[in-house]
């Protein structure tokens, strides 16, 4: 199986190329399905320069920043590789995400507007008359959007920043595992109970449900994802 392509667009020449290249590459890497094949994902500096429409200098500067943040590794005479985590590292990252998202849930329950909370239902409207197990890819996108929305509605910039650097791996693992072991049905039921708790402004229950829901993913990875080793 071929490695996933990197989806980037030419940069706007009206602002700093390094900053634009950094954000464009980080976004593109975050959207990759980096765990659904065995081959290493290699990036080509020349190709990135051509795709983004800038010289190699801002590309190199952006790649240095991404390496410092743990998204890629630069290996002399070998190339640029997107970092993939081990199973133990993924489990630990999910546990950290569970702590951060459950705290975000407390904040949503106490300070988000009723209208904001109602928007969470909109993510699942398409599955009211359809079986999500028959539309796994579409449901996967809604699932990921749900968790990102909890973080966003918390209003905490720090939680958003901390989860952004976990998101590349959490997103890829959620997308890969959502169709396994009847997780789709359990997921949508969990989401409904979380939204109901938020609507009731039941802070402790919302926090508990969000934490246990995400820790369920950690347990699934621990049990079923030996391919990550």
Mean pLDDT of the chain: 89
Judgement on whether residues 120 and 163 belong to the same structural domain of the protein: yes
For residue 29, give the CATH number of its domain: 1.10.10.10
Residues 126-136: tens digit of each pLDDT: 887 777 677 77
Judgement on whether residues 59 and 95 belong to the same structural domain of the protein: no
Judgement on whether residues 76 and 92 belong to the same structural domain of the protein: no
Residue 3 lies in a domain: no
Would the pLDDT of 71 be above 60?
yes
Q: At what angle do helices 87-111 and 203-224 cross, to 10 degrees?
A: 170
**Mean pLDDT within 70-76:** 89
Number of domains, the chain: 2
Handedness of CA 175, 180, 184, 187 (dihedral sign): negative
- Choose one of 82, 111, 132: the last residue of a domain: 82
Residue 23 lies in a domain: yes
Judgement on whether residues 119 and 142 belong to the same structural domain of the protein: yes
Residue 111 lies in a domain: yes
Residue 158 lies in a domain: yes
Q: Whole-angstrom Cα distance, residue 225 to residue 19?
A: 36
Residue 1 lies in a domain: no
For residue 182, the model assigns a pLDDT of: 78
Neighbours of 81 (CB within 10 A): 14
For residue 11, the model assigns a pLDDT of: 60
Specify which of 23-37, 90-104, 131-145, 179-193 reaches the highest per-range mean pLDDT: 90-104
Judgement on whether residues 28 and 76 belong to the same structural domain of the protein: yes
| Percent of the residues in the chain that have a pLDDT greater than 70, as a whole number | 95
Judgement on whether residues 199 and 154 belong to the same structural domain of the protein: yes
Determine contact, residues 53/11, Cβ cutoff 8 Å.
Answer: yes
Judgement on whether residues 107 and 40 belong to the same structural domain of the protein: no
Judgement on whether residues 142 and 188 belong to the same structural domain of the protein: yes
Judgement on whether residues 186 and 97 belong to the same structural domain of the protein: yes
For residue 110, the model assigns a pLDDT of: 97
Residues 184-226: tens digit of each pLDDT: 888 889 999 999 999 999 999 999 999 999 999 999 999 988 8
For residue 59, the model assigns a pLDDT of: 92
Judgement on whether residues 136 and 34 belong to the same structural domain of the protein: no
**Mean pLDDT within 23-51:** 87
Judgement on whether residues 130 and 207 belong to the same structural domain of the protein: yes
Residue 7 lies in a domain: no
As a dihedral over the C-alpha atoms of residue 127, residue 131, residue 132, residue 136, rounded to 10 degrees, the angle is -130
Residue 8 lies in a domain: no
Determine contact, residues 195/121, Cβ cutoff 8 Å.
Answer: yes
Would the pLDDT of 14 be above 50?
no
For residue 112, the model assigns a pLDDT of: 97
For residue 148, give the CATH number of its domain: 1.20.120.530
Judgement on whether residues 212 and 167 belong to the same structural domain of the protein: yes
Residue 100: give the domain boundaries.
87-225
């Amino acid at each position: 199986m071929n490695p996933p392509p990197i989806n980037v667009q030419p940069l706007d020449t009206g602002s700093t190329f390094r900053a634009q290249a950094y954000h464009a590459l980080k976004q593109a890497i975050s959207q990759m399905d980096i765990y659904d094949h065995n081959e290493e994902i290699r990036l080509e500096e020349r190709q990135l320069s051509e795709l983004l429409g800038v010289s190699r200098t801002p590309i190199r500067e952006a790649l240095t920043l991404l390496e410092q943040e743990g998204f890629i590794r630069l290996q002399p005479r070998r190339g640029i590789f997107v970092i993939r985590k081990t199973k133990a590292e993924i489990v630990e990252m999910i546990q950290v995400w569970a702590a951060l998202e459950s705290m975000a849930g407390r904040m949503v329950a106490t300070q988000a507007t009723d209208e904001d909370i109602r928007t969470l239902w909109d993510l699942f409207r398409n599955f009211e008359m359809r079986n999500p197990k028959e539309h796994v890819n579409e449901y996967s996108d809604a699932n990921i959007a749900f968790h990102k929305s909890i973080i966003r509605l918390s209003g905490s910039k720090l939680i958003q920043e901390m989860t952004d650097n976990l998101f590349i791996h959490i997103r890829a693992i959620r997308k890969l595992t959502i169709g396994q072991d009847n997780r789709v049905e359990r997921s949508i039921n969990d989401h409904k109970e979380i939204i109901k708790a938020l609507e009731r402004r039941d802070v402790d229950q919302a926090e508990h449900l969000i934490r246990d829901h995400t820790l369920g993913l950690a347990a699934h990875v621990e049990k079923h994802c030996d391919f990550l080793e």
